[in-house]
Amino acid sequence: TCRWWCSHNSTPFAASFTYEIREGAVVVRSVIDIGAKRIETGSYGAFRELAAFINRKEREKIILSKKNR
C-alpha cells in the first residue's frame, strides 16, 4: 500500500494505491480524495504534490517475481 496525505489550510488531500494478486491477476485499487470543490491559492503547493504522486503511481511499472521457497 502506498499512501499520500496532506492537510493544508483545512483542506485534506489524500490518495492511496493498493496492490494485490487475485486469481492470477494484479489488482490495483486507487482512492483519491480531493476533499474540496475548489482548491484555495494557499493549497496549490500541496495539491501539486498530490497530483505528482498520483501521476508517478499511475505510470509506475509493476514487476512480479517468484519467491524462492
pLDDT at 59: 94
Query: What is the C-alpha separation between 50 and 7, in angstroms, rounded?
Result: 11
> How is residue 57 written as a grid cell?
503511481
pLDDT at 10: 58
User: Which residue, chain included where needed, has cell 493498493?
Assistant: 18
* Length, in residues, of the chain: 69
pLDDT band of residue 63 (cuts 50, 70, 90) is confident
pLDDT tens figures, 42-58: 888 888 988 998 999 89
| pLDDT beyond 80 at 9 | no
> How is residue 62 written as a grid cell?
509493476
Give the residue-averaged pLDDT of 3-8: 57
Output the pTM of the full model. Answer: 0.73
